[in-house]
Amino acid sequence: MGVVGLVHDHVWGLLKEFGDIEGVDIAAASDRNGQLLKKAKEGFKIPEVYDDYAEMLRSERLDAILLCTENSKHADVVESAAERGLHVMMEKPMSANLAQAERIVKASDRHGTKVMVNYPTTWSPGVQMAHRIVREGAIGEVHHVRFRAAHAGPKEIGCTDYFYNWLYDGELNGAGAFMDYCCYGVNIALWFLGRPRSVVAVTGTFARKYLTVDDNAVVLMEYGDALGVAEASWSQVGKYPIHGPTLNGLYGSLLVDEDGKVFLTKVKAKGDFRDTATEVIDPPPPPDGLRNGPDYFTRCVLDDKLIGPPIDAKFNRDVQEVLEAGLASSREGRRIPLPIH
């Protein structure tokens, strides 16, 4: 594997996870920042480093790359990698806008390469269990999905300036907290409910007045018979007590808390909504292949398996479409219908 981009702070944790997998050799890394290349070489024993990813792709014999650049650069890198038959795992979201996401899908399809968009929520044991419970019909048809992603702000929680400088750039990131954190809720809503009919969003810079991008945002996804809600904040003081989605079905509800426990509430007898019981479930660790993004990606590449929802390229093209509609809604102050396809 090669690494393209070290400016996303998640890269260091991902390198540790890849390092624990038999059959993976991180052969080279590229970034324009010398200090980050030094950290990769000395701290992670990556033998070859480059200040130009194109040179790395030309010079190294690679099978796949880990992509941790700014969001707006994902499409360029995927196109270059796909031409060489390289599979790509990138950090979420897929891109800074829909046009870039569609370029990624086309490059992957044209060259037959695998592309994975790594959403950390996918590997939460609680979220995985919640998805199984819903799929099995335990709470009835789901009509409401809500996810809030929040912290005090990238700079305020100690992200490096390599990271937050581009998060605070609307062109490189795609927006502010909206793109960084509403993408989680949109990804989860589409996983549980599918593609919505229309989108309404509100964004603003309410607390971190030094920013030129939004620090808070809400996206509403309308399905006709269901509603998805994605919330984002870069001004949340203290921990937010819910780590996963809140899901409401016809006969029950689910909530994943900050410790990953699943709270499953169901009516004891269908039709009597006064008589309910709540079960608190501590999910077991995920099985091999679903422990984390590097584990799943490696198995899909080595075993030539398809990458599936909610982290495959086509699925996340639709996530990006909803996000783009949300930005348009916020600008124009109206509901944005999605085209039928």
CA distances in angstroms from 195 to 58, 85, 134, 149, listed in the order given: 39, 30, 17, 20
Domain boundaries, the chain: 2-119+292-305, 121-289+319-337
What was the pLDDT predicted at 220?
Answer: 98
In sequence order, the 6+-apart residues with CB closer than 8 A to the CB of 327 are 174, 175, 178, 201, 203
β-strand partners of 118: 91
> Which residues in the chain show pLDDT less than 70?
241-242
**pLDDT (0 to 100) of residue 242:** 66
Q: Which CATH architecture has domain 121-289+319-337?
A: 2-Layer Sandwich (3.30)
Q: 2-119+292-305 maps to which CATH number?
A: 3.40.50.720
Residue-level pLDDT at 30: 98
Tell me the pTM: 0.97
CB 171 within 8 A of CB 208: no
Distance CA 177, CA 11 (A): 20
Please report the pLDDT score of residue 241 as a whole number: 63
Examine domains 2-119+292-305 and 121-289+319-337 and report if their fold is the same: no
Instruction: State the CB neighbour count (10 A cutoff) for residue 205.
Output: 17
Q: How far apart are CA 73 and CA 95, in angstroms?
A: 8
